[in-house]
Amino acid sequence: MTNFTINALLTLVIIILGSLGCSDRSNSLIDSNTSTSQPEDNAFKILILGDSLTEGYGVMESEAYPTLVQNRLNLEISPKTRVVYDVINGGITGSTTSGGVSRINWFLQAKPDFLILALGGNDGLRGIPVKETKQNLLTILQTAKSHGIPTILTGMKIPPNYGPQYTNDFANIFPSLAQSLKIPLIPFLLEGVGGNPKLNLPDRIHPNPAGHKIIGDLVFTHLSQALVSIPSSL
């Protein structure tokens, strides 16, 4: 595959995150635009804090990967452990890491037991300084840690629009944080999906139900491995 083709695919991938708007929605819209199901009192609650990928733009809520992950947890793991899982979809299209910082305390009111942090792509699309993006992600992860909430960090890749140095520095944010904080990492959330027309909507930008299925399988695999180390979750 040529460098041109790779760059083109990465460009399609990153547009997913910001194509519907360049700014975060105001916090006043969170209540009406964020899907938070009403969990059972004893449910193990998993918050996925993300952007349009997590929100599930262009597909039904039941087809978006957060719902697919919840379904697999309850179908495959719950019968063995008698633990009910509730996945809170904390995705908002256009959200950046700074938006995540402003939203994390709101979501903590739901008292999640686990956090999957899936932000950063929109920062790269806008050329936000790597240091700022990294600090925002660190703030979110430290906030979760201060509340005793285990986490998984998901990585993202961007096209070299801002030059190879920025591209490389951006990509290194995620493994660097995961290593320093000793938390699990999903290296690339869109692995096998980004840029593949068979796995995206007709606009060839947003994942279709088949694309979300692959993302859901990837997240489920990493999540189920992480949950093993949490006695109350399995």
Active site residue 212: no
Answer yes or no: 206 catalytic: yes
Handedness of CA 130, 146, 106, 216 (dihedral sign): positive
Helices (H), the chain: 3-18, 30-33, 52-55, 65-72, 78-81, 97-107, 121-126, 130-146, 164-181, 209-227
Residue type at 105?
N
Of 62, 180, 203, 229, the catalytic one is 203
The residue annotated as part of the active site, out of 24, 52, 113, 212, is 52
Catalytic residue among 86, 113, 206, 233: 206
42 burial (CB, 10 Å; 0-12 / 13-18 / 19+) is exposed
Q: Is 52 a catalytic residue?
A: yes
Active site residues: 52, 203, 206
